[in-house]
Structure formats: C-alpha cells, structure tokens
Amino acid sequence: MQELPKQYAPSSIENKWYAFWEENKFFHSEPDKREPYTIVIPPPNVTGVLHMGHILNNTIQDILIRRARQLGKNACWVPGTDHASIATEAKVVQKLRKEGIKKADLSRDEFLKHAWEWTEKHGGIILQQLKTLGASCDWDRTRFTLEPELYDAVIEAFIDLYAKGYIYRGKRMINWDPEAKTALSDEEVIFKEVKSKLTHIRYQIEGEENYIVIATQRPETIMADAAVAINPNDERFNHLKGKRVIIPLINKAIPIIEDDYVDIEFGTGCLKVTPAHDKNDNEIGIRHNLEVIDILNPDGTLNADAQILVGLDRFKAREEIIKLLEEAGALDGEEEYTTNMGYSERTDAVIEPRLSLQWFMKMEEISKPALDAVVNGEVNFHPNKFVNTYKHWMENIRDWCISRQLWWGQRIPAWYINGSEEEYVIAKTEDEALEKARKKTGNAQLQVSDIKQDEDVLDTWFSSWLWPMSVFNEKDRDYYYPTNDLVTAPEIMFFWVARMIIAGFAFEHQKPFSNVYYTGIVRDKKRRKMSKSLGNSPDPLDLIAKHGADAVRMGMLFSSPAGNDLLFDESQIEQGRNFANKIWNAFRFLSMNRQDGFTYSSDLNIDANNLVDRWMLGRVNDTIEAMNDDFDKFRINDALKKIYSLVWDDFCDWYIELIKSETYGEPIPQERLATAFAIFEQLMKLLHPFMPFITEELWHAMKERDVKDAIIISSWPKPIQTDIANAESVKAFEAIQKAISSLRNIRAEMNIPPKVNFNLVIKTKNESATSLLTQNEWVFRKLDSIGTYETGTAVQKPKASASAVVDGNEFYIPLEGIVDFDVEKTRISKEINRLDGFLKSVEAKLSNEKFVANAPEDVLANERKKQADASTTIVKLKEILADLV
C-alpha cells in the first residue's frame, strides 16, 4: 500500500472521492425491493448562494441519508430549487434597471424571457456548492418548482381545490408589499418592535368652536378617514353622539359613530376610522356601511384621492402633514410610542394594509387532518416543544391569500370573460377555458380574444407545499411517498411544514413525512443572526477551502442540538480539523507498522485473555447501541459526541498506546495490529455519515477494495455478540484508566519528571481487585515509568507517600528522595477541603425533604453513593496526611 502523506490535505481528496461517488451512481436511487428511505431537500431559492444555515441543514440531511444507505435502505435524497417569485423577480427587475429597461415597458412574455435567461445563468449555483460539502443527493432527480411537470401539478391542485370549494376570489384587506407590489400572506409578514409616535390631531366639531382630539400613528391617512368612532359606554363623549367633525386640511365633514371596538383607555378614546388602510377599521367600516377611500398607490405614494401631497411617499407625506397640521393649528402634540410593525419577509418593506381583490384559500376545514397528525404523533416533531406552537397556529388558522401580483410563477388558471372581473372560468389551458366560457355564457361564438387569463401568479408556497409529492412521478410516488424525514428551520413551520402536511392529507390522504427535525438558527458569538448586512457571516466555501468539508460539517454539529440556536465560532471548525488530523495521524502510525505480507480480517477476533481488547470491543459495542438510540431520537449532536470520544479518547489515546511493542522502536506485533485495523474499520463506518471524505480515503488506504466495497455503501456496524466484551470488562478497564490518570496527575502535581521511575504500592479493597491489578501490571508499566510494583489487600502503606483512592483501592507512591514533602501535604489538604465542600453540598441536598420526596430513586441512590464515596476518601486522605506530618 502507498504510504500516506504526513499531513492531511482535504483539498487533495475531496474532489477525488466526490467524483468517485458520482461516477459510480452511489447517490442514485430507483425503486426496488428494499425498504425506501426518502428525504426531500428544503428547496433553496434559485437565487440563493450557500450560507451557514444551509451548511447546518444539509449536513444533517446528509448524515441521515448516508446512515440509511449503510443500513441497507434504498436511500433517496431529492434535491432541487424553488423559483422564489418575489426574490427572483426582484433580481431580474434590478438587472433590467441596470440595463436601462423598465419592467413596465415589457410584455409578460418578454419579461419572462429575461427571467428564464437569468435563472439559467445564475440558478442552481447553490446546488453545485452543496457538492463541496459532500451532499449525497440524487442529482439525477434534481427538480425545479417551475419545470413543466411541477408547474402542472400546482395548476391541477388549484383547479381541484377550486372545484371542491376551498378556493375563492374576494375583495378583502390584505398585506401589501409596496416594494414588490404584491399581496403577501399573513405568514410572510414579520413583526418588529419599533419606536413610533402617536400624533394628536384636533378635529373641529361641525358647527361649533370646540374640537375633539384623536391620537394616530398614521396622520398621513387622515384624508381617507370615513368617521371618528367612540365607545358607546364612554360617558366622556355622550355629548358627541350624532354629531359630525371636520377633517383638518381638507375640511371634509365625517360622522361620529359608536362602536364597542374602541378602547376607552387607549389614546384619547376617539378613534379615526380609515376603512381602506387598516384591517380593524375596515371591519368597523363594514359594520357601519362607511365609505372606503383608498389614497395610496401600489408603490406607497399618495394618489389623487388624497387631494394633498399627491405623489409623495407615505413616510415623507407623514413628515409633511405634521408640518401642515401645525401651521393650521390642528396639531395637539406628539408622544413617543412603541409598537409592533409588520415588514415584508422578502423585501423588508413596511407592510401596507390594502383592500384588494385577491384569490384566497379556505383553511379551517382542510387543515384539521394535519393538526390531528401532529398532535397525535403520526408526524413527530424533534424537538417536541414545537408541537404546541404548531397546535396554536393551526387552531387559529386564517384563510390563505394565494395570489401574487407578479409574473414569475405559476399563473392563476382563471380566465375572465369579455373583460368582466366577476365572470370567469377555471381551466388548465386556453382551449379548455374557451370551451368552458362558451358553455357558461351560452355563447358558442366566443373567441379566444374574448377571454383573458388572470395576470397574477400563485404564492410560491402554493407550489412548495406540494414538494414531497410533486418531485416524484406517479410510479415513483407509490414507492417513495410518504417520505421519511424532513430537516428544516422552525421559522418556516407555518410557511411550509404545516402546509405540506395539509397538502399531503388533501391530495394523497396520508402524511408527507414521519419526522420533522428542526434546526436552530446559526448566530454569532453575540447571539445575532448571521446576515450579509451585519457582515457577521463567513463564506462557507472559504471555510471549506481553509479547513476541509469534514471539519466544517463536524464544527457545525458540535454545538447544535435539535431546535437550539447555534452560536458559531470558527474554533469549532478548527476542532473538526484537529479531529481529522488526529484520525489521519493515528492511521498513518498504524499503517507504518505494517510488515511485508500483513493482512487482516474485518471480523473482530480479539484476545479473550486481553482486558484491553475486551474493553475496546465493549466500548465499540456500547457506542453502536448508544448512537443507534440517539439517531432514533434525532439526537444527532449526541451521536457525534459519542463517536468522537470513542475515536479520540479510547482508540487513539489509550488503545493504540497499549498495543505498541514492548521494545521501543520495534513495530507493533502483527496480530495486535490486525485487531487494531479491524477495530479501525468499525470506527470509520460509524464516523462516515459525519466525515464522509476522510473515512472513504482511509477505508481504501487500509486494504485494496473493489468499487462495490466503498465505505459509502458499507454496512452500518452492529454490536458483536460475545460474552467476553461485556459491561464488567469495560468497568474493569475504566477503573485502571482512572488509576493511571490519578498517577499521572500526581506526577504532574509533584513535578516528577516523566522518565523518573517511582515505586507503586497498591492496597486493594478485595482479592478480586488484587487479581485484576496483578494481571494488568503490564498496562501500568506500558503507560508510566514504574520501578517496583506491589499489590494486595494486606500490603503495608508506605510512609511519606503520595496517594490516590480510586474505586476503593489505595494507590501509593513513596516520595522519599523524589519530591518535596511540604508540597504533598499542601496538595492533600486542598483535596480534603475540596471533598469537604462537595460532601456538604451532597448532604444539604439529601437533608432537603422536598428533594428527597420528589427525586427519582436512582437519583437518590446516586447522591447517597457520592456521600459514601466522599466520606471514605476523606478518611483515607486524612490518614495519609497524618503519615506525612
């Protein structure tokens, strides 16, 4: 075998192995007799580039899919991108603007040509970037939400839901994005707490010198006022009932009305009612049949109906109108005010409530199966804490505004007849629409020119809610659907997760997936969300180039338990890189010990008489079982920590040291090396889902292998059933580990040089301990510089010795001639003081009646054991201290 380079260089192997996996179709899946395991990628925006959130999310998906592959399942991870109506259209409009072209000057077809050209040039970049991370998606199955099949699926869903009475058209108050010039659903509005002002304005009572004062956050909309409302129970304003007031600046008289909605305690108790520009005011307007005056253009500027400040932006108009009110003597003052203001999730523009004719979907009835599925555990959330959030939203669900005033997207399949907005048909094609229009009107002479398709497109989420179904053709859907697991962020629980579950039951009559794993948000050390605007988000591709993909994957997972935010620090990536180097160097050391003709069996044949082998195999078995449990419970972070500890601590720091030759400079005995290689194989299999590149590299460096033997399709390890690698073996060796660690601590604290031998006297607690420590004297000698070695229940405690008590056994190092006695007395005194404090805390806990009454029995037993162990150790240390005086 070729010798490995001294340094691990990720860049030299990552492209090689990714190409190997792709060339051999290891990522590709076709239906067969195996159990399917399916994940659909949360489709990133076609405009997107890789960010830290993508790294976290897709690393977790890749871990799940790679392990499923190793478990022998038919693993299928479907990639793709979302057309992202608002974001993409904004990008294209921006590009055209730079070229001196206005969208308004283009026909729909001309604009869409530009949009497709832009998408083909820039779209899908993020999918290529995911390959650098090691994402093992089935790239042959890559989908795009605007490709023909998926487009048709969306249109057919609309037609089906319309026919069933779920979709309707109506004029309602909606959320309007003045920058994107489109309607938004409630879920696309992000509320932020902002500092604002309440402006107090005087409205003169008609025919009187007196006036009333209203308080408003939106003085720029007074020209659209239709009434002033008071609470009928507010005795302060009994004298106003039935009267009218004059709107300042435009001198228009409007009625004073009574409505229970008015909060007597808020502001002045008088509410300006502006039905066109506030949802609550609109409801009041409907109750009182008030005039609706819309004074804003779609871009947020004032229109001619405002009469004044026409053409000004709404926020500039607010500044100007305050000046005008002050000049007119109608300004009664201003006060600071904190409020929650809605912003567009896409453009960050302040949302404008707007009365608009839109398409809506009734949600109450159709969402009930999706609510039950999560509450009853048919669809499981990880962590489970998100179930209550989901339940609250679903129980208070509102109708979904599904139309968007854009061109990039699935065009609404509604066709208006003879220019009427009230008379229309729903059809998939123009020919079908014409046929339906002729039938509806009874006019067989209608022509294509007499019908016109709706200009609007459907909400992007109306396509992505079909994603787990629409990515498969009918045959494949029978095999792969429902999918298994979804990995996503909790902030799109309502945008996407809930709606996918709704769609699954609505169209396929079953859940779309069984588990939803919610990742946290990637934040910086100051707990700020990473973003380009803050400049606190590193480029993931730079991190991969610097540290390697495996290191980045490990670093992102070290501190990211499900549902909890990740506080990113590049040191975590460095920890991942250090781990890769540790593995590389460990294997390089083992491989350098291979002699001519060296072979090994992948079957683990350990020496039954060797406690170290029995312990190592026991640790491997325990880790496999614990990792399986972690994966079952979606504790990916915990599973990683277990294999990390097994590799770094147990195998590298202990096992390799103990299999070295007794003679310095001699190679490891080949039978011991063969066992180490077999164990290392198991470790690489367990580590592969987390670190795919280095494990594939080392897997092939261990022995010559065929393509069919690649680690990516190797079998996930199973615990080896044997009586010799049991819990007792693990416990026995762990006691030796503790003892050796204690001896090393004494050597360090007493400044005994590493090469200076010390004699070791061990007073054992029983004959079983004597046997264990006698048989494994070689372990102590292998790992430390020891002179004489004496053990037994009756040995005499040497005078003036450093000591440690481990599991009831007393370890003594006679110090005469090698250390300063005063230093040792100080050390023991400090340890006694520490244990005294520890003992008091345990006894305080056990004397707490409430704790004792409520704590589980195993917790109480553990606390009592701590108490007994600490008391015993203190007694023994005091005896040792007395011996030194």
pLDDT of 64 higher than 60: yes
pLDDT of 392 higher than 90: yes
**Residue at 90: amino acid letter:** A
Residue 2: band (very low, low, confident or very high) from pLDDT cuts 50, 70, 90? low
pLDDT of 81 higher than 80: yes
C-alpha 501/C-alpha 366 separation (Å) is 10
Q: What is the pLDDT of residue 532?
A: 63
pLDDT of 560 higher than 60: yes
C-alpha 853/C-alpha 857 separation (Å) is 10
Note the pLDDT tens digit of each residue in 632-649.
Answer: 999 999 999 999 999 999
To the nearest whole percent, how much of the chain has pLDDT over 90?
Answer: 77
Question: Residues for the chain: how many in total?
Answer: 885
pLDDT of 553 higher than 90: yes
On whether the CB atoms of residues 869 and 809 are closer than 8 A, the answer is: no
Most confident of 146-160, 226-240, 795-809: 146-160
Note the pLDDT tens digit of each residue in 108-122.
Answer: 999 999 999 999 988
Sign of CA dihedral 105, 110, 116, 117: negative
pLDDT of 854 higher than 90: no
Note the pLDDT tens digit of each residue in 297-322.
Answer: 999 999 999 999 999 999 999 999 99
Q: What is the pLDDT of residue 131?
A: 96
Q: In 218-243, which positions are buried (b, 16+ CB within 10 angstroms) versus exposed (e)?
A: bbbbbbbbbbbbbbeebeebeebeeb
Note the pLDDT tens digit of each residue in 668-722.
Answer: 999 999 999 999 999 999 999 999 999 999 999 999 999 999 999 999 999 987 7
On whether the CB atoms of residues 40 and 467 are closer than 8 A, the answer is: yes
Q: What is the dihedral of CA 764, 767, 772, 777, to 10 degrees?
A: 60
**What is the SS3 assignment for 287?**
helix
On whether the CB atoms of residues 582 and 652 are closer than 8 A, the answer is: yes
Global pTM value: 0.84
pLDDT of 1 higher than 60: no
C-alpha 623/C-alpha 646 separation (Å) is 7
Q: Maximum distance among all alpha carbons in the chain? A: 117
C-alpha 12/C-alpha 545 separation (Å) is 11
On whether the CB atoms of residues 230 and 237 are closer than 8 A, the answer is: yes
Sign of CA dihedral 693, 695, 697, 700: negative
Q: What is the pLDDT of residue 766?
A: 93
Phi, psi of 268 (to 5 degrees): -95, -5
pLDDT of 536 higher than 90: no
Beta-carbon contacts of residue 300 (< 8 Å; ≥ 6 apart) = 178, 179, 313, 314, 349, 352
Note the pLDDT tens digit of each residue in 585-637.
Answer: 999 999 999 999 999 999 887 888 889 999 999 999 999 999 999 999 999 99
Average pLDDT, the chain: 92
* 46 against 76, higher pLDDT: 76
Residue 883: band (very low, low, confident or very high) from pLDDT cuts 50, 70, 90? low
Q: What is the pLDDT of residue 662?
A: 83
Most confident of 241-245, 499-503, 571-575: 499-503
pLDDT of 138 higher than 90: yes
* 130 against 725, higher pLDDT: 130
